[in-house]
Amino acid sequence: MGLAGKTALVTGSAKGLGRRTAMELAALGCDVAITYVTSRAEADHAVSEIEAMGRRALAVQADVAKTEDVERLVRTVEEGLGGVDILVNAAGPFIRERRLFADYQVEDIHYLMNGNLLGTMLLDHRVLPGMRERGWGRIIHFGFGHAGEARSWPHRAAYAAAKVGLVSFTKTLAVEEAASGVTVNMICPGDIRGDNKEKGIADVEGFTDDESPRGRPGTGEDVARVIGFLCLPASDFVTGNTIDVSGGLDPIRSNVKRSGA
């Protein structure tokens, strides 16, 4: 298999897009570390599924918004599965309720920035020495549709600022680490909701989504397949990119239009 013998750490992988990504990487041959904040049962179930594929797996409780959890998380994975070859930063807090920036609590601002930007940077910083030593690594960041354009996103100010900052960091880190054999890319999922985050493409065949230019709902498989490709050894020439997996949906303009209607 393309990634046999590699160890992947996928944050926020007890449920949703992170879980589907973890399963994709396991299917490609990876041993996988699952992380969760409160979803212990779901994380343990994911570990069981991965082990049933013949891979090693473990679940680690960690909140990437907390600096002390980042160090403990990586250390636990290294002790249990070995050095991290693939880091997928799928975790990131999001407040679905639309709010003006002035209406946010200070602690909400800190949590959104720490969870979506600083925690990701610290995780990358922690695993990079091992990737450099082995001369191989894959880092994936999560953004949102059209994040690379750095447009305004009313009612999402803190979240959008964190992710747009992550765009620049993705491109910078990709250039800095290219000679080390480490690629860094950002995946920007569309508005994939609910159970669809863990479904396959075949599961939504025949369903329509009137908001999606593609016409069908997006699924976790749509996102996970792209990540799987980017992690393959032969994808080493693809780095520093922000890749929309959105079916053509522009989440910023559609949300602004609905909120102003």
Q: What is the reported pLDDT for 247? A: 84
Q: What is the reported pLDDT for 217? A: 80
Which residues neighbour 179 within 8 Å (Cβ) at sequence distance 6 or greater?
none
| Per-residue pLDDT tens digits for 103-158 | 999 999 999 999 999 999 999 999 999 999 999 999 999 999 889 888 888 999 99
What are the DSSP E strand ranges found in 92-216? Answer: 137-142, 182-189
CATH topology of domain 7-260: Rossmann fold (3.40.50)
| CA separation, residue 2 to residues 82, 151, 232 (Å) | 18, 37, 6
Q: What is the reported pLDDT for 65? A: 94
**Rounded Cα distance, 186 and 166, in Å:** 9
| CA separation, residue 241 to residues 20, 51, 142, 212 (Å) | 21, 32, 11, 23
Three-class SS state of 152: coil
| Per-residue pLDDT tens digits for 228-243 | 999 999 999 999 999 9
Structure tokens at 212: 């999606």
Bridge partners (DSSP) of residue 138 are 86, 183
Average pLDDT over residues 2-20: 97
Average pLDDT over residues 36-45: 97
Q: Comparing C-alpha atoms, which of 227, 244, 241 is closest to residue 2?
A: 227
Q: Which helix (H) or strand (E) is 46 found in, with range? A: helix 40-52
Q: How far does the chain reach from its first CA to its final CA, in angstroms? A: 51
The answer to whether the CB of 29 falls within 8 A of the CB of 54 is no
User: pLDDT tier at 16 (50, 70, 90 boundaries)?
Assistant: very high
| CA separation, residue 84 to residues 10, 30, 112, 167 (Å) | 10, 11, 25, 22
Q: What is the residue-averaged pLDDT of the chain?
A: 93
Sort 150 into a burial class: Cβ within 10 Å, 0-12 / 13-18 / 19+.
middle
Q: What percent of the chain has pLDDT over 90?
A: 79
According to DSSP H, which parts of 55-156 are helical?
67-81, 106-113, 119-134
